[in-house]
Amino acid sequence: MYLGIDLGTSEVKVLLIDQAQAVVASAHAPLAISRPQPQWSEQDPADWWRATLAAIGTIARSHPRQLAALRGIGLSGQMHGTVLLDAAGRVLRPAILWNDTRAGAECAELERRAPQLRAITGNLAMPGFSAPKLLWVASHEAELFARTAMVLLPKDYLRYLLTGEFISDMSDASGTLWLDVARRDWSEAMLQACGLSLAQMPRLVEGSAPGGMLRAELARDWGIAAPAQVVVAGGAGDNAASAVGMGVVAPGEGFISLGTSGVLFAASDAYRPNPAQGLHTFCHALPGQWHQMGVMLSAASCLRWVTQLTHAADEAALLDEIALAGPAAYQAAPLFLPYLSGERTPHNDPHASGVWFGLRHDTDRALLGYSVLEGVAFGLRDSYLALQAAGGSMRGAALVGGGSRSRYWARLLASALDLPLSLHSGGEVGAALGAARLALLAANPQLGVAEVCVAPPVLEVVAPEAQWQAALLPRFERFRALYGQLKPLF
């Protein structure tokens, strides 16, 4: 048996699979976010551990015989978060999360200190990344920074408690701005720019390689028959883990996630950065592979927001209203800039805000809802164009995340991107399944990636619609022009 642990922002999910990758059991436990000040987003790492123990405990009680046969654990986690430990391994402060934007000024300072940043990391300095957060801590919490002995990413804090070791993987480390992404190793120059050293960084392994062994006392607590044989894989950042779970491992393969944030992910066999347009270029979770990724900070969260704002019964009801509007939606709807939390790709602008442009007396709830769906689609088109500018490509993409449940949104997105989108069974467990697959590979080195990382069955392929696409293209050009005009005003 193999366990995948996915540490998300809103919950911890665990998934138990057997050697044939059949799902045996799953469980989850919720998490809360603390926002003590504007732009801040934090979590207590102790809450992650409590949630992990609770979720695994559920499986231990419901499937004790199966969990007893555990041979591997894989970890997936929200990226960029910072867990600071002192010399005794104690957490020094709440973790600063990926969607925390307090470190905008520190991004400019980091680029000043390390002019080679983009060449080394393949990315822009963005407030959500780890390195600017450490500059903020050094500036605002100097005494605490001086006591920092180890810096871990969220899932690697779980690994520390599972194994007692400080280890990370290449994909997650790519989001710190401390990794030389082409060389797949820590960059001493980038660490020095933040007042850090290699001694404060975990050891690096590939995502499918062993990354520690489960502590004997935990194995006993969970009733595992052979505790000395449970390997913990290197694991992956959440998007790379989702890609492994969706079988997106070869060049030309990709996925789009319509979750709280929006992600356009393309697998690559080479290092092809495009930092100028905010495209992320990271190591993949598998040896010798990379991936390119456009990220927008608000996607399905925009749909939740407009549903609440307009007092629709729920998101499904609003989507039904939008669909009934027909072609009038894209003929009369206002334009929407989906920057409710600022934006990453392509603008790297934490000050960008959401905007409705073109409101009239006859603008109703359906048109407002349509404009929001379209604005998110246009944000992902921005990412797709940035990917193409970097030499990346996708033949098609799997569509995952909560927003993928809407066929209407899928048709709109396929038409905006001019890209066929496939809907798969099991997409909702992508990251947890990817983590479990990495555990399977780490515990069984004789297995090949191609035989383990297969795509789940396709339920439907949503093709672009020519008439819709023709209507969208001029609206997209106005969408892009609108941000350019408003940027100085944000």
List the binding residues: 79-80
| DSSP structural state of residue 214 | -
CB 246 within 8 A of CB 263: no
Q: Are the C-beta atoms of 261 and 41 separated by less than 8 Å?
A: no
Asked whether the beta carbons of 316 and 301 are under 8 A apart, the reply is: no
412 CB-side CA count, 13 A: 29
* Catalytic-role residue among 238, 269, 314, 418: 238
User: Which tokens in the block code for residue 190?
Assistant: 């980038």
Q: In degrees rounded to 5, what are phi and psi of residue 179?
A: -100, 135
H/E stretch holding 25 = strand 23-30
Q: What string of DSSP letters covers 179-192?
A: EETTTTEE-HHHHH
Contact by Cβ (8 Å): 355, 480: no
Q: Are 323 and 316 spatial neighbours (Cβ–Cβ below 8 Å)?
A: no
Q: Are 100 and 133 in contact (CB under 8 A)?
A: yes
Select from 335, 188, 345 the least CA-distant residue to 261: 345
Pairing of strands 72-77, 236-237: parallel
User: Looking at 46-100, which runs of residues are DSSP E strands?
Assistant: 72-77, 83-85, 95-96
Point out the annotated binding site for substrate. 79-80
User: Which residues, other chains included, contact 149 with Cβ-Cβ below 8 Å and sequence gap of 6+?
Assistant: 85, 86, 87, 200
The 10 Å Cβ neighbour count of residue 5 is 28
Outline where DSSP puts E strands in 269-365: 280-283, 290-296, 335-337, 355-357
DSSP code for 335:
E
238 given a catalytic annotation: yes
CB 368 within 8 A of CB 306: yes
The DSSP-derived string for 216-259 is HHHHHHTT-S-GGG-EEE--EEHHHHHHHHHT--STT-EEEEES
- For the chain, counts of helices (H) and of strands (E): 19, 24
**Taking the CA of residue 309 as centre, how many other CA atoms within 13 Å lie in the half-sphere pointing to its CB?**
12
Q: Which residues are catalytic?
A: 238
